Amino acid sequence: MIQQLVMYEEELHRINAICETLHRDSNAKAVLVIDKNGQAMASAGDVQELDVTSLSSLTAGNVAATGGIASLLAEKEFAGQFLEGEKISYHVSIVGQRVILVVLFDGRSSLGLVRLRVRKATTELVLVLEVMVKKSQSGSGQQSVFSEITDDDIDNLFND
């Protein structure tokens, strides 16, 4: 029943590299890649001061709500969102219907530049995601460790 999304080393490196390039080329403060269920997958830039877990969950909620509005209006999806703040702006786009790309930027960048660079990054991310999904479905990337989990392992997790 549970469909797993699995991230292996190779794809993470590629996604991180795309984030780094986007961060640099768009003069952004930070770049985040989040799965649609709200789990942070990768990031670049000044993320130390951010609460990435909360930001990921709220962004996913926001994207889900926007998707709900889209379907009520008989739109397939609203592919992007832009929130303009006094100091920081927040650009969100959906990549390959599967993950969310967030770019946080300030006055050193502009919406036009961010949009331009996001478009390029999106094309590259789609390719990596396709590989990720294929590997997740086939389980071919690596021998799963979970088949070896015993009842004791699970019980031990809950020993106070």
Partner 1 sequence: MSFINYSSREINCKIVYYGPGLCGKTTNLQYIYNKTNPEAKGKMISLATETERTLFFDFLPLSLGEIRGFKTRFHLYTVPGQVFYDASRKLILKGVDGVVYVGDSQMERMEANIESLDNLSSNLQEQGYDLAKLPYVVQYNKRDLPNAIPMAELEEALNPTKVPSFEAVAPKGIGVFDTLKAVAKLVLTELRKGS
Contacts with partner 1 by CB under 8 A lie at 1-9, 12-13, 35-39, 41, 51, 53-54, 57-58, 61, 64-65, 67-68, 72, 139, 141-142, 144-149, 153-158
- CB of 116 vs partner 1, minimal distance in Å: 29
Q: Least distance to partner 1 from the beta carbon of 99, Å?
A: 11
Which two tokens mark 147? 């088949």
CB of 102 to partner 1, least distance (A): 17
Nearer to partner 1, 63 or 114 (CB): 63
Nearer to partner 1, 85 or 147 (CB): 147
Write down the least CB distance from residue 118 to partner 1, Å. 23
53 vs 123, beta carbon nearer partner 1: 53
Whole-angstrom CA distances from 5 to 8, 19, 27, 136, 138 are: 10, 19, 30, 6, 11
CA distances from 67 to 74, 99, 130, 134 (A): 10, 13, 22, 25
Please state, in angstroms and rounded to a whole number, the distance separating the CA atoms of residues 90 and 114: 10
Q: Phi and psi of 99, rounded to 5°?
A: -130, 165
Q: Which is nearer to partner 1, 51 or 77 (CB)?
A: 51
Question: Quick one: which of 8, 6, 10, 9 has its CA closest to 133?
Answer: 6
